[in-house]
Structures are given as C-alpha cells and as structure tokens.
Amino acid sequence: MGKYDRLIDTILRGKSDANIAFDDLRVLLIRLGFDERIRGSHHVYRKEGIEEKLNLQRDGSKAKPYQVRQVRLIIIKYHRAGEE
C-alpha cells in the first residue's frame, strides 16, 4: 500500500483529522485530478464533474480538521477513493 493509499485510508477512517499534513493532502487532491489555484494563503481545488470546490488553508504544517472532513465527504460522495 502506497503513501497516498494510506492517506486516503486515514482520511476515510476519520480518526486523525487534526493530524493530516497539509502538503500531503494537497498532493493527494492533485493526484485525484483536482486543479489547484493558489490565492494568498488559500488553496482552491476544483474538478470537472464535482460541484463542490475545496478551499484549504494551512494550520501550521497540518491541514485544518474541518477541511479534512470536507475532503472525506467528497471522496465518499464521488467514490474517488480508488483513483490515482
């Protein structure tokens, strides 16, 4: 199991939302096909076929827990857990 497979598994389990590295979450979204736009401290992710947009910000080196939950809901809703 690769690093990003483990990250998806961790996100889907929902036990470590406050302990997800921002850079790992960022790269995961890009690997899942999201386009990234950076405006100041805001990293905005969009993907064709997904109506929600994700707006992520750093909390030190970690992603904010509520934003990890948003990513989890999108992965579940659009069945993206198996994509790379």
Cut 0.85: pTM above it: yes
C-beta separation of 56 from 43 below 8 A: yes
CB 54 within 8 A of CB 34: yes
Scan for tokens 């750093």, then name that residue: 58
- Please give the angle made by the CA atoms of 74, 45 and 78, to the nearest 5 degrees: 20
- Could you state, in order of their start, the residue ranges of all structural domains in the chain? 3-78
Spell out the per-residue pLDDT of the chain, length 84, in tens: 789 899 999 999 999 999 999 999 999 999 999 999 999 999 999 999 999 999 999 999 999 999 999 999 999 998 754 444
CATH architecture of the domain formed by 3-78? 2-Layer Sandwich (3.30)
